[in-house]
């Protein structure tokens, strides 16, 4: 884990033409092109499909699966896609030794709130309807997708549905009102996200809804009854306080939560695991966490802990 690697990643991000606050007509294809520049490993198998009518992509790595399933939500709310998330999703799948189903929820502003959480819950209910054991199911996501995962978990709890075994939230965007101090204090070191981007994309997503509504910002609602959480963030991101405050809220609501803050790395640093040791190490920890909680022993089913 070297300073050279961290500097290289930050320099690459600062030099990128992608602007998270920019015009969506330009930024969406630019983002997809940027993601496509990093090829998915040859052993990864992707299969398109639907869950309750919601488009999804299943990600499998033959020979590595030992049980369980991860339902994954990509970041962006207004930018990104299930296809663009395959690279990070397959890295997590490899470490967790589980297949991943990544959800292509509808994007704002064409489909503002509640389209994304509705799609997330539809996909979750559809998995249960197919016979998927919730105790062998986990949720995961990055950035906006991590916030969406937290909202989905809270909705599952309110609905009285079986909770998944656990969830991994990478750099969660949990406060669309943007009230965290780190939006200002980390502005000079965050090479990816700006306060303007947070404001613009939140406006796209909210469509007039209250940014402090727990249904859009999980930081403001009860997290009681949620499964064990692993929340990861970098110390060089303006959304650091979202992760810290979400972990504190979960702890206050008696949720088993682990806050994993890695110094000197940016927003969703796990996406750069190929060139950043901290990213690979964080994915290793996340995979072990998911594997532990979705194991047959943890699920109370026959079999031994993996």
Catalytic residue numbers, as ranges: 143, 237, 267
Report residue 54: phi and psi, to 5°. -90, 125
Query: What's the token pair of residue 290?
Result: 């998911």
The pairing of strands 69-73 and 100-103 is parallel
Q: Is 16 exposed, middle or buried (0-12, 13-18, 19+ CB in 10 A)?
A: middle
In whole angstroms, how far apart are CA 255 and each of 51, 227, 262?
A: 28, 7, 22
Query: What's the token pair of residue 108?
Result: 């704002």
Provide the 10 A C-beta neighbour count for residue 164.
32
What does the alpha-carbon distance between residue 268 and residue 20 come to, in Å, rounded to a whole number? 14
Q: Is 306 exposed, middle or buried (0-12, 13-18, 19+ CB in 10 A)?
A: middle
User: Which distant-in-sequence residues (6+ apart) come within 8 Å of 254 by Cβ?
Assistant: 224
Paired with 169 in beta bridges are 141, 231
Instruction: Determine the 3-state secondary structure of 290 from DSSP.
Output: helix
């Amino acid at each position: 884990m070297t300073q050279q690697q961290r500097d290289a990643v930050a320099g690459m991000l600062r030099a990128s033409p992608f602007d998270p606050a920019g015009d969506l007509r330009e930024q969406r294809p630019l983002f997809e092109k940027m993601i496509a520049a990093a090829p998915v490993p040859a052993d990864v198998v992707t299969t398109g499909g639907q869950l309750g009518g919601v488009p999804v992509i299943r990600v499998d790595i033959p020979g590595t699966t030992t049980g369980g399933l991860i339902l994954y939500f990509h970041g962006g709310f207004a930018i990104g896609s299930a296809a663009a998330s395959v690279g990070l999703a397959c890295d997590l799948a490899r470490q967790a030794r589980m297949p991943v189903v990544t959800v292509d929820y509808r994007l704002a502003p064409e489909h503002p709130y509640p389209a994304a959480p509705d799609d997330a819950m539809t996909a979750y209910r559809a998995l249960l309807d197919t016979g998927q054991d919730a105790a062998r199911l986990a949720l995961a996501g990055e950035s906006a997708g991590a916030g969406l995962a937290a909202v989905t978990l809270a909705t599952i709890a309110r609905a009285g549905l079986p909770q998944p075994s656990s969830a991994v939230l990478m750099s969660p965007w949990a406060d669309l009102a943007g009230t965290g101090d780190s939006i200002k204090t980390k502005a000079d070191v965050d090479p990816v996200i700006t306060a303007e981007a947070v404001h613009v994309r939140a406006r796209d997503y909210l469509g007039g809804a209250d940014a402090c509504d727990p249904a859009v910002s999980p930081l403001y609602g009860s997290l009681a009854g949620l499964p064990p959480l692993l929340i990861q963030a970098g110390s060089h991101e303006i959304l650091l306080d979202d992760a810290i405050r979400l972990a504190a809220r979960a702890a206050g609501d008696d949720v088993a939560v682990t806050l994993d803050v890695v110094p000197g790395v940016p927003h969703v640093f796990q996406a750069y695991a190929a060139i950043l040791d901290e990213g690979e190490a964080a994915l290793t920890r996340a995979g072990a966490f998911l594997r532990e909680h979705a194991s047959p022993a943890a699920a109370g089913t026959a079999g031994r802990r993996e």
